[in-house]
Amino acid sequence: MTAPILRVRELHAGYGSIRVLHGIDFEVEDGEIVALLGANGAGKTTTLRALSGMIAAKGSIALDGKDVIALDASERTQRGIAHIPQGRGTFVDFTVEENLALGAYRMRDKRAIRSALDYWYGIFPWLAERRAQPAGSLSGGEQQMLAVARALMVEPRILMCDEPSLGLAPAITQSLFALLERLNKERGMAILLVEQNARLTLKITHRAYVIESGEIRLSGAAAELRDNPLIQRAYLGT
């Protein structure tokens, strides 16, 4: 069996003396979309920050079987961990194209950047149409999709999105989720999705973990979790 893309064991992290994650374990297999669900303050954002190297962590984070815990954030990005932080993270005064090019900052070769841009413009023609527009003039949903496209410029091994639906209207959220689903189906992109919108999330994900007070409380196939009364009560409002 091949190693999972991401295998996390005994992950501990926090902020100074505040301990937030108390030894969490999970994995994302090749070609999977996995959700991390949980209430406000459960530790979802902290988990993604610990994985991408924004904050210090203890434990093991194996990417394609190799532990990256000792690497800094930019080295982890180079290994293929892409992190779209909570909030949109686009540079509003920069154009769409400048934002995309920033995503490819570690490609030195101008032609490689050009061909990556052309490739993603082919996939997202609406981005090409808006390439010269400041990112701040895009709608919230478009900015979120730009953030996804920017993260894809370097062909990550795993795409981690932190509450991409925050502040978006339901219809826009649906098209954003359709984009994630398409990237997964057509390109086999492994995705770790942090969301509070459990209903929609469990429709597009293969498996999910529920995090509570910095610990994994529950995990399983998305279809199983949808039928779990605990999940229904806590996250699906039924």
Ligand X SMILES: Nc1ncnc2c1ncn2[C@@H]1O[C@H](COP(=O)(O)OP(=O)(O)OP(=O)(O)O)[C@@H](O)[C@H]1O
Q: Between 188 and 207, how does the x/- string for binding to ligand X read (CB under 6 A)?
A: --------x-----------
Element (H, E) at 160: strand 158-162
Residue selected from 6, 8, 28, 45 as contacting ligand X according to rule CB under 6 A: 45
Q: What is the largest CA-CA distance in the chain?
A: 53
Residue that has been written with the tokens 């399983």 in this structure? 220
Rounded Cα gap, residues 79 and 24, in angstroms? 22
Residue selected from 7, 44, 88, 150 as contacting ligand X according to rule CB under 6 A: 44
Which residues are within 8 A (CB) of 19 and not within 5 positions of it... i.e. 6 or more apart? 12, 214
Instruction: Work out how close the CB of 204 gets to ligand X at its nearest, in angstroms, rounded to a whole number.
Output: 19
The answer to the question of residue 40 lying near ligand X (CB under 6 A) is yes
Residues at the contact surface with Mg ion, assessed by CB under 5 A: 44-45, 86
Kindly determine how many residues on this chain lie close enough to bind ligand X according to the rule CB under 6 A. Answer: 13
The residue at minimum Cβ distance from Mg ion is 45
Instruction: Work out how close the CB of 165 gets to ligand X at its nearest, in angstroms, rounded to a whole number.
Output: 12
Contact call for residues 190 and 159 (beta carbons, < 8 A) = yes
| 94 alpha-carbon distance from chain centroid | 22
Q: Could you give phi then psi for residue 210, rounded to 5 degrees?
A: -110, 125
The answer to the question of residue 15 lying near ligand X (CB under 6 A) is yes
- Can you give the binding site for ligand X, defined by CB under 6 A? 15, 18, 20, 38, 40-46, 86, 196
